[in-house]
Amino acid sequence: MNIVFENYSTNYFESLNGKITQNCQIFSNKITLNKFIAVLMNVKYADGKMLIDDELVNNVISKYRGFYVVDEFMLYEHLNVYDNLSLVLRSTKMSPVTIYRKIESLNESLNVDLDNKLRECDEDTIIKLFYAKVMLSDSRFAIIKNYNNYTKIFSKKNLKKLTEMFDEKKINYIILCEKKKKLVDDLPILKLGKSSISVVK
């Protein structure tokens, strides 16, 4: 992973500088974190540069930047597991048969009950579903929102499970949080300010 900001100015940040070179935690206040997600996901007129793996992506839409936001609201309680997962693929206009095959194939390793309603699922299954949605989206980077965590699903134990699954498939991830608190062992902690991203010693 190599995400670099060089004097990157939008309506969200002014002259943002810094780099993210590996899986990490980034902490700041909620407003600044939301702005950072907007910068990663949305194409806006900008001065300066945003580079991903040395490629200029100022005008590249989020689908091709490869970011996928993981938060507790990405799953719907009234839907079963299969329908929750299929939402990722329906937006691509994929045929129902292809969607079915992809989900069934992925579920060979997950081993979850696709017919269960979300409210019937335990925490372990929910974490698997977060992972599955990122896998089905074919994304390069998972942005894990560990704030506004009302259901407490992103506990340290569950974050460890989720990041281990991402590590196994070499999916890069950034955990966004409000406090300078170690959530996953061996992850560097970065601070996001108004105009900088810097490693905390």
> Domain limits of the chain?
3-72+126-199
pLDDT band per the 50, 70, 90 thresholds, residue 92: confident
State yes or no: pLDDT of 82 exceeds 90: yes
**In whole angstroms, what is the distance from residue 75 CA to residue 49 CA?**
34
Which superfamily does CATH assign the domain made up of 3-72+126-199 to? P-loop containing nucleotide triphosphate hydrolases (3.40.50.300)
Q: What pLDDT score does 70 carry?
A: 96
- E strand map for 45-162: 47-52, 55-56, 67-70, 141-145
Q: Which of the listed ranges 33-47, 58-72, 114-128 does the model predict with the highest average pLDDT?
A: 114-128
Structure-block tokens of residue 20 = 């993210």
State yes or no: pLDDT of 149 exceeds 80: no
**C-beta of residue 180 within 8 angstroms of C-beta of residue 14:** no
Q: What pLDDT score does 152 carry?
A: 84
- Report in angstroms the alpha-carbon separations of 151 from 119, 143, 179, 184: 12, 18, 18, 19
Q: What pLDDT score does 45 carry?
A: 81
State yes or no: pLDDT of 54 exceeds 90: yes
State yes or no: pLDDT of 16 exceeds 80: yes
State yes or no: pLDDT of 179 exceeds 80: yes
Opening angle at CA 135, ends 134 and 141, nearest 5: 50
Q: What pLDDT score does 29 carry?
A: 96
Report, as an integer, the average pLDDT of 107-136: 96
State yes or no: pLDDT of 43 exceeds 90: no
Which residue, chain included where needed, has tokens 């992925």? 106
Tell me the average pLDDT of the chain: 94
Report, as an integer, the average pLDDT of 100-117: 97
Q: What pLDDT score does 48 carry?
A: 95
- Report in angstroms the alpha-carbon separations of 199 from 38, 45, 85, 187: 21, 27, 35, 11
